[in-house]
Amino acid sequence: MMKTMKRCLCLLPLAGALACAADLAGVHSVYLLPMARGMDQYLANQLASEHIFRVVTDPKLADAIITDHISEGFQAQLEGFSPTPKPPEPAKPATPEPATKAGDEAAPAKAAGADSKAKPGDEPASPGLTGKTENTLSSPSTSSGFSRARGTVFLVDAKSRQVIWSIYDPPKDFDGKEMNRTASDIVSRLKRDLNPKK
């Protein structure tokens, strides 16, 4: 019994690595959002030179997004790239229109005209549920309560919106050589996770 449990515990990390590799296997092209200290540029350079993923400049062509923050602002950006499909509206049953008499045809038009003119002192109609519903913030990311975790990089599936891979590897300083070395380390780790040892 103990031997069986030990084998299961040993296999758990391997199963996790294989599941991660399966998620990563569906990624062929990535789009990088701007990151702190220009890390996105260093990562794009390393990804392109290692030929791990195609780096695209149009987010609509990407299978996954690479970012250094997860927040409401990031969610708003994803919606801008590829909006979540709306569920189809149920078909409304057709209702027959009431028959009108020959003399009553002008009545609806007259009634509509009477209501269209606002009287002095009248309050403007409230937009209610039919009013403007989109986000009017100029930059949703600035309103988020989340802050960037320096050194964390996330790979997010563009369709499912799930984080399929992440790493924490902060650079020691912001010198160009150190930033490039950190980007190289991140891409090397990603390469290893794409091809786990069996």
Q: How far apart are CA 41 and CA 169, in angstroms?
A: 16
pLDDT digits (tens, 9 = 90+) for 101-134: 555 555 454 444 445 555 555 555 544 444 444 4
147's CB contacts (< 8 A; 6+ apart) are: 69
- In this predicted structure, the answer to whether residue 139 has a pLDDT above a threshold of 50 is no
Task: Give ∠ CA 92-98-101 in degrees, rounded to 5.
Answer: 160
pLDDT at site 104: 54
pLDDT at site 91: 73
Residue 189, classed as helix, strand or coil, is helix
Q: How far apart are CA 163 and CA 191, in angstroms?
A: 17
Give the amino acid at 125: A
Q: How far apart are CA 85 and CA 90, in angstroms?
A: 15
Strand 152-157 and strand 54-55: the pairing is: unpaired
Residue carrying structure tokens 């090397």: 188
- In this predicted structure, the answer to whether residue 164 has a pLDDT above a threshold of 80 is yes
At the topology level, CATH places domain 28-83+143-194 in Double Stranded RNA Binding Domain (3.30.160)
Alpha-helix runs per DSSP H in 82-133: 106-116
Nearest Cα neighbor of 43 from 173, 169, 198 is 169
The residue ranking higher by pLDDT, 84 or 186, is 186
pLDDT at site 20: 59
For residues 39 and 167, is the Cβ–Cβ distance under 8 A? Answer: no
Look up the pTM and report it.
0.60
